[in-house]
Structure 1
């Protein structure tokens, strides 16, 4: 009988330890989950911004003038980000249209850089900034035998 009494006493001493363990481990697990979500959001957004830059460069390379190329690239990048469900706190599209002034018969390129600020403030993670700015650059070739407007 003394062994049973000792075992019962030991079990009663451990009754509150599960709640204490949960209180210690649960915040760490929640933080790890939020960190994984933030990482996933940044990787996914980066890939979608890459696609928007490629769309902008390609669209700009189809136009003859620098002004038309800039307008088309801006619209293509905005449409691409919208189609992919990316909401940027701020967006900018820079286009290098130097390839449009290359003489006919030579290869020119158009480069587009899309910058998007991705919001992370809804994750409420300590130490993680409220937003992260991602930039992607893509280049597209201008048809070497197409008339150019410069």
Structure 2
């Protein structure tokens, strides 16, 4: 070992270690966002399906909201903000006509607990799903 190189390993470690930690945190954030995206997709699908089997347009929103929140809870996703909007115009289709119900679920996923410098504190994900209404189901 050359005496002129003393301490160079410590300096290299001091430079590389924070970069490796930041890379790990970025990978965790990306994984959280990708996983949350699939969970929000499942919630939108469940919300649309529950709304499409509702008897009235008024109850469709309530059923969709409950289904989306239950799915997100079952999936273990904790959103700092959740909205569910439902287009229930397909429930008013005349008997014998297939209508559709569309649900959109928006979830704000917190990222601040990762302590990644310069990263946003949260990321908002949104998913939309359309479900068919049975053409011959009873209508109110």
CA distance in 2 between partners of 1:13 and 1:115 (Å): 58
CA distance in 1 between partners of 2:90 and 2:76 (Å): 31
Q: Does 1:61 align with 2:52?
A: yes
1:1-150 equivalences in 2 (<5 Å): 10=2, 12-149=3-140
Runs of 5+ consecutive residues of structure 1 not aligned to the other structure: 1-7
CA distance in 1 between partners of 2:65 and 2:113 (Å): 28
Q: Specify the alignment match of 1:5 in structure 2.
A: none
The structure 1 segments of at least 4 consecutive aligned residues displaced by more than 4 Å after TM superposition are: none
CA distance in 2 between partners of 1:37 and 1:70 (Å): 34
TM-score by length of 2: 0.96
Per the TM alignment, residue 15 of structure 1 is displaced from its structure 2 partner at its CA by 3.0
TM-score by length of 1: 0.90
Q: For the pair shown, which has the larger CA radius of gyration, 1 or 2?
A: 1
Deviations 1:61-113 (A, max 9, x none): 11110111111111100100000000010111000000000101111000000
RMSD: 1.0
